[in-house]
Amino acid sequence: MGRLEGKSVIITGAGSGIGRAASLLFTREGARLIAVDRTDGVKETVEMVKQAGGTAEAVMADAGSEADVIGFIRKAVSAHGKLDAIWANAGVSGGLVPLAEQTPEHWQEVLRVNLIGPFLAVKHSIPLMTAQGHGAIVCTASVAGLKSGASGHPYAASKAGVISLVQTTAYSLSGTGVRINAVCPGLIETGMTKPTFDRAKQRGTESKIGQLNPLKRAGQPHELAAMGLFLASDDASYVNGQAIPVDGGLTASMPYTGKPI
């Protein structure tokens, strides 16, 4: 029996990176998955799941659109009769535009996907979960939502918002049996961070990637997927309202030179 055996699960942002790694891991653990992304990559993810013997269906949708969110949640219930867990993982980086050059439209789009998207996932999943008396919601935040210096302004603000959403929602769901938590990735090698890795390779400084954390390396998508699996499973039955960094230890301390103490 897998840790998610027979459970109905939705993962957004499943077309690549953390979402794809989570889709493969969750289905190996027995989940029946609705994989969501607005790109064709979600179809490739589902094909990979099926080749590995898992159960998944691809839905191309915008995680920041209320109509789309309602649609893919209904899809999960129609296909599997329930919704046990949802991971609101879809996000955009927003780039590194100087503050004085940022526009309200730029902020609105980053917030729409990164913060409004998780809100919509929460809003439309909790009636189903509270009615059945159980459920797990996982949101992807970021270390950028915990401390400065890890991203551009709109991205950091959106992820701080996700953390607050998780904390406040946990209390809104008091006594329902539904849990909500966030994972806070550090520097993870995904499509979103590819420009950072590419620039380091071009400069010959690839060995310095991740040097600010105690493990001295970047993380991989499967390492985030493992934390998401724990939070979505019954193993985390007493974990609620938390924002958990998966960052090699980056947020464990103030910045330092890297010399042993």
Q: What is the pLDDT of residues 26-77, one digit of tens each?
A: 999 999 999 999 999 999 999 999 999 999 999 999 999 999 999 999 999 9
Fold of 8-189+222-242: Rossmann fold (3.40.50)
Q: What is the pLDDT of residues 101-145, one digit of tens each?
A: 999 999 999 999 999 999 999 999 999 999 999 999 999 999 999
Sketch the domain layout of the chain as residue ranges.
8-189+222-242
The better pLDDT of the pair 212, 123 is held by: 123
Report pLDDT for 193.
65
Residue 148: is its pLDDT beyond 60? Answer: yes
- 131-135, 172-176, 212-216, 219-223: least confidently modelled range: 212-216
Mean pLDDT for 209-233 is 90
Report pLDDT for 162.
98
Q: What is the pLDDT of residues 157-176, one digit of tens each?
A: 999 999 999 999 999 999 99
What positions carry a catalytic annotation? 155
Residue 216: is its pLDDT beyond 90? Answer: no
Q: What is the mean pLDDT of the chain?
A: 92
Q: Assign residue 229 a region: left if phi > 0, alpha if psi is -120 to 50, beta otherwise?
A: alpha
